[in-house]
Amino acid sequence: MGDLNFNRAIVRTAPRAAVNGLRAVDVGAPDIDALRREQNAYIAALQSADVTVSVLPPLEAYPDSLFVEDVALVFTGAAILLRPGAPTRRGEAAEIAPALERTFERVLLFETGTAEGGDVLTTPRGVYIGLSGRTNAAGAEALVGLLAQIGRPGFVVQAPPDVLHLKSDCALLDEETILCTARLAASEPFPGFRLLLTPEGEEGAANALRVGGEVFLSDAYPRTVERLAAEGYAIKPLATHEIAKVDAGLSCMSLRWRDL
Ligand code: CIR
């Protein structure tokens, strides 16, 4: 259960510059106060699931820096510092390095290609790395090598076209079940897992997050909430209206691991 049963998380307060965050389609800038309310509700939800949350200070030079998931991978006792594919986000890795050094016994450095944590689905059976516009083949290969050093098998898969990250389209729900969009499931990327598909038109719901006994799910997708509730999952609906304007969902805003 180590990959589901987190008890620690790192988040970073949204800078005012988050209104300039990267987005594929501009539907208007997020409202910074409302975005911060969404982030605060997310932090509170982690805390009520008994996760100890370290909050890093905002970085005004990096509009997307609240999406800490993309700059590192974290595991019990070890972290891997990544190299984001988005040029405007590359400097975020150096900014988070001191917090990782303080927290983890080992911090492995990533040297070749690019990879973002949004493309990495960690499961108890292995770590799935999605090739996307942000994670390239050289980066994925380098990551497989680094994961091997900490005893985790890595598998390279393809994220669907026109999707930001692999995890824009999937989330681990339990040891054997993945919430997945139909467009990702079509390439059969997760052999041996049971897939629960997001209803058509609710693809955005796939960026969910299992924390302890609950699944954090965007409140914008009622049919997915219903589907997962019918499968017996306890749902924690959270607002994502503002962060969705900068292409983010519920996994993006934290780095999560189990501290023994
Ligand atoms: C970006 O384009 O990098 C940000 N606006 C959104 C990052 C979302 N991160 C994630 O899904 N892990």
CA distance 75 to 78: 5
18 lines ligand 1 (CB under 6 A): no
Given a contact cutoff of 8 angstroms between Cβ atoms, the answer to whether 80 and 72 are in contact is: yes
* 252 catalytically annotated: yes
Determine the residue of 62, 67, 114 to mutate for testing ligand 1's pocket, defined as the one with the most ligand atoms within 8 A of the Cβ atom.
Answer: 67
The alpha-helical segments, DSSP class H, found in the chain are 32-48, 92-103, 137-149, 182-185, 222-230
> Is residue 165 annotated as a catalytic residue, yes or no?
yes
Question: pLDDT band at 2, cuts 50/70/90?
Answer: low
Q: Which atom of ligand 1 is nearest to the CA of 89?
A: 3
Collect all residues with Cβ–Cβ distance below 8 Å to 253 and sequence separation of at least 6. Answer: 11, 39, 42, 66, 67, 68, 69, 243
How many angstroms does the Cα of residue 27 sit away from the middle of ligand 1? 15
CB-ligand 1 contact for 86 (6 Å cutoff): yes
What tens digit of pLDDT does each residue of 214-244 get?
999 999 999 999 999 999 999 999 999 999 9
Rounded to two decimals, the pTM is 0.97
pLDDT by residue (tens digit) across 10-35? 999 999 999 999 999 999 999 999 99
pLDDT above 90 for 4: no
3-state DSSP assignment of residue 131: strand
